[in-house]
Structures are given as structure tokens and as C-alpha cells.
């Protein structure tokens, strides 16, 4: 029998941890394995496994691995994640890392940031202030389901069971690799149905598709860019020494906190969030009536907007939206005429309109509707208009 290829060894491991098939984690795993081959002086994973089968000098190679990652300027949390990916792979292939782990000097975790858990009023403010339909839907979904951001971005329309009011997550997109079901409250159900209809999404579509390539999910970096621009706009951009105090994961904490305060069964909450129930879970089998009772508590605890608004209020919102669109068109035209005078907030600080669009085309920032372009093509057209205006001004003077 021949020596197994790298792809075969990787496939075997992924069958053990299918949750790592998600693109971002798979990239991290491949990077960790390639780097370890390099520091070990090996050309294949089979050679790596053969070299360290007896544990000889494994700690030295692992220490080199950690040092290289530190040299890249990665944060301790990221380095520890790469280290876990590597040692998990080695352990799966019968390489004992326990003794080596004790000798390796790993970076200490940084001080945890102080999270700010949003209340209902803050969530309303964030959703109303967002110029992005996708971000509005994402904020509501995270807050009312407790999904992790990665799980939400990997959601397909077909995972939503409107008939039974459930989101059915396959194990491949879950952090622990185990499938789970999450109830949908009425308010979220209506929002999801409207969103899917407005965006003409098909059953196999991602719920949050990439604007440039709908066959791929919305990029995480793009989500964070739009999230922080929205926070800047409404004055909720508080930071501590580590980073923003209000970030997407705080919506998961909002979900748990609201349900705990409403006395929803704790094991059900953990199950919906994808946490390990341990021994308790092995003996926990609530009836359908028990679950329905807890979902009614969930409904009351997680409702963000309350009863459906009257037609007068809906009409007022429609008129406000028309005015916002008109103002955005006027501001965009002014920005094209005077790009140096229009300053816009970005994750990298305030910058003028022209510079912001150039950064957008380089993929460094993600702009949000209104006076900003929605596509690369539109951005290039705006830059052309700005250049023509500058040329006209030079000729006048």
C-alpha cells in the first residue's frame, strides 16, 4: 500500500471534524499544516507523521510553529486557534502531543474586552439606522436566534422551515459539528419572509449572499465594516483597550440574557445556542408541550418592535424613506462636484469622498448605499464623473 497523500490525510481528519469544512476554518487548517511542514523540514504530511510518531523533538517543532505565527503579528487568540488545529490533526493521526504541549511556551490570552449588551431600544436604533437591508435582517436574526455570525452567514433559505417555525442548521456549518434546531418567533418569521421575497432569493440561495458573487456568502469583513459604520452613525461606537464594546457576538449574549431573565429552561437555551449539554443533556427529553410553553416565553422576551404598526405609521416611514433617498441623491451630486469637502466616517477614520471610493475599489473598506456606490462598476463611474468635474474646473480657471 502506498503512502497516503496530503489530501487523503486531510479528508480523513475532516470526516472527524466536519465543522472545519467552512471556508474560513478550512483555510486556517491548511495554513497551519503547511507552516508545520515547513518548520519540520518535511515535504508531505505523511513525512511529518512518520517523523514525530515517537514524539521525538515534537516540542521543538511546535515551538518553532508558535514563534513563526508570533512573527506574523497575529493575536494570541488566533495563534492558539492555529495551534489547536494543528495538534488536533496530529492527535487524530495518533501523534501524542501531551508531553510536548507542557514544554511549549504559548502566548497568553489578552485581557477580555468589556462587552456592552444591547437593550431593545439600542437594537431598534441600530436596525432603523442601517442603510443596508442585509445588515438590518442580520442584526434581527442574530438577536432573535442566538446564531454565531459564521453560522448566520452560511445559512441557506432552505434551512428555514416556515411551516414548523424552525431554523434547521446542518452540522457542517455549526461550530461543534452537530446539527440543531432553533425556534423562530412570529416577528422574525414575518421579517424573514419579507426579506426573502424582496430579494427574490431561491431555496438554495444563501440568506446573505455576496453582492458581487451571489454563489458565495457575504464576506465577514464586509459585515464588520458595515456594522461599525452604523455604530459610528448613531453614536454607539464605544471602545475599550481591546476593541468595540458592541460587536456582532454581543447579540448572541443578548439572546441568552433575555431568555434567562424570562425563566426559559436553561438546557433548552443551551441546546438552541449549540452549547454542549454534557451529562444533563443525556437525561433531558422535554415533551413538545414543554417546548411550546418555553417558546411562548421566548416570543415575549425577544420581540423587538412589538405589535404591527398602523397604516398611518407605515405611511410615515415610507415618506421618511423617500426624503432620505432624495437627500442622499443631492448629497451624492454635491460630493461629486466637491469630493474634497465631503468627509465620511470609515473603519480607518474620516476620509474624503474620493479617497473612500478608491479604498472601496481596492477592497479595503465596504461602503453602504446612500451617497456611496453599491457596486464596483458604479464606483468606477463615480470616479470618472469626479475626474471630469475636476477637469472642467481647471479649464474654467
The residues spanned by each domain of the chain are: 6-103, 120-302, 311-396
Strands 160-161 and 351-352: unpaired
**Could you tell me which of 325, 304, 130 has the C-alpha nearest to residue 225?**
130
Question: Is residue 205 a contact partner of residue 135, using CB atoms and an 8 Å limit?
Answer: no
Q: What's the grid cell of residue 128?
A: 432603523
Query: Using CA atoms, how far apart are residues 392 and 336, in angstroms rounded to an integer?
Result: 12
Q: Is 166 exposed, middle or buried (0-12, 13-18, 19+ CB in 10 A)?
A: middle
What's the DSSP call for residue 157? G
Q: What is the pLDDT of residue 279?
A: 84
Query: Using CA atoms, how far apart are residues 279 and 106, in angstroms rounded to an integer?
Result: 31
How far, in whole angstroms, is CA 77 from its chain's centroid? 17
Q: What's the grid cell of residue 107?
A: 502566548
Angstrom CA distances, 189 to 162, 231, 298, stand at: 7, 26, 14
Q: What is the pTM of this model?
A: 0.63
Q: What is the pLDDT of residue 348?
A: 66
**Residue keyed to cell 470616479:** 383
**Residue keyed to cell 436553561:** 266
Q: What is the pLDDT of residue 160?
A: 97
What's the DSSP call for residue 307? S
Starting at the edge strand found earlier in the chain, the sheet holding 160-161 runs: 160-161, 166-169, 180-183
Q: What is the pLDDT of residue 310?
A: 45
Question: Is residue 165 a contact partner of residue 296, using CB atoms and an 8 Å limit?
Answer: no
Per-residue pLDDT in tens (0 to 9) along the chain, 397 residues: 567 888 899 888 888 887 777 666 888 899 999 999 999 999 999 999 999 987 688 999 999 999 999 998 888 888 999 999 999 999 999 999 988 999 999 888 766 667 889 999 899 989 988 888 999 999 999 999 999 999 999 999 999 999 999 999 998 888 888 899 999 999 999 999 999 999 999 999 999 999 889 999 999 989 999 999 899 888 888 887 777 888 999 999 999 999 999 999 999 999 999 998 888 888 889 999 999 999 999 999 999 987 544 455 456 667 777 777 777 778 777 777 777 777 766 666 677 777 877 877 777 776 655 566 667 777 788 788 878 877 777 776 6
Fold type of domain 120-302: hpI Integrase; Chain A (1.10.443)
Amino acid at each position: 500500500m502506498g503512502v497516503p497523500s496530503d489530501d487523503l490525510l486531510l479528508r480523513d481528519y475532516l470526516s472527524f471534524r466536519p465543522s472545519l469544512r467552512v471556508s474560513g476554518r478550512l483555510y486556517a487548517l491548511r495554513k497551519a499544516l503547511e507552516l508545520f511542514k515547513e518548520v519540520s523540514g518535511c515535504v508531505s504530511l505523511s513525512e511529518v507523521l512518520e517523523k514525530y510518531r515517537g514524539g521525538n523533538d515534537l516540542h521543538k517543532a511546535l515551538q518553532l510553529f508558535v514563534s513563526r505565527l508570533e512573527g506574523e503579528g497575529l493575536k494570541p487568540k488566533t495563534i492558539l486557534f492555529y495551534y489547536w488545529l494543528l495538534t488536533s490533526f496530529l492527535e487524530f493521526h495518533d501523534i501524542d502531543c501531551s508531553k510536548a504541549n507542557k514544554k511549549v511556551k504559548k502566548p497568553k490570552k489578552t485581557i477580555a474586552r468589556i462587552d456592552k449588551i444591547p437593550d431593545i431600544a439600542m437594537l431598534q436604533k441600530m436596525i432603523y439606522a442601517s442603510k443596508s437591508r442585509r445588515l438590518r435582517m442580520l442584526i434581527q436574526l442574530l438577536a432573535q436566534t442566538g446564531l454565531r455570525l459564521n453560522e448566520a452567514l452560511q445559512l441557506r433559505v432552505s434551512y428555514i422551515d416556515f411551516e414548523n417555525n424552525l431554523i434547521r442548521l446542518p452540522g457542517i456549518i455549526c461550530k461543534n459539528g452537530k446539527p440543531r434546531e432553533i425556534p423562530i418567533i412570529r416577528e422574525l418569521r414575518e421579517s424573514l419572509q419579507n426579506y426573502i421575497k424582496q430579494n427574490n432569493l431561491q431555496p438554495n440561495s444563501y440568506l446573505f449572499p455576496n453582492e458581487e458573487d451571489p454563489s458565495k456568502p457575504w464576506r465577514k469583513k464586509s459585515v464588520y465594516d458595515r456594522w461599525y459604520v452604523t455604530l459610528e452613525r448613531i453614536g454607539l461606537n464605544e471602545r475599550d483597550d481591546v476593541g468595540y464594546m458592541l460587536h456582532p457576538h454581543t447579540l448572541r449574549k443578548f439572546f441568552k440574557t433575555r431568555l434567562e431573565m424570562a425563566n426559559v429552561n436553561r438546557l433548552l437555551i443551551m441546546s438552541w445556542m449549540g452549547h454542549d449539554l454534557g451529562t444533563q443533556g443525556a437525561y433531558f427529553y422535554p415533551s413538545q408541550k414543554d417546548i411550546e410553553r418555553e417558546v411562548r416565553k421566548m416570543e415575549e422576551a425577544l420581540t423587538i418592535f412589538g405589535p404591527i404598526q398602523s397604516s398611518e405609521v407605515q405611511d410615515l416611514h415610507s415618506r421618511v424613506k423617500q426624503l432620505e433617498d432624495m437627500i442622499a441623491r443631492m448629497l451624492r451630486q454635491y460630493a461629486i462636484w466637491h469630493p474634497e469637502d465631503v468627509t465620511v466616517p470609515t473603519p480607518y477614520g474620516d476620509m474624503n469622498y474620493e479617497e473612500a471610493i478608491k479604498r472601496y475599489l481596492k477592497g479595503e473598506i465596504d461602503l453602504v448605499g446612500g451617497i456611496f456606490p453599491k457596486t464596483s462598476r458604479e464606483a468606477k463611474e463615480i470616479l470618472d464623473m469626479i475626474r471630469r468635474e475636476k477637469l472642467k474646473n481647471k479649464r474654467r480657471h
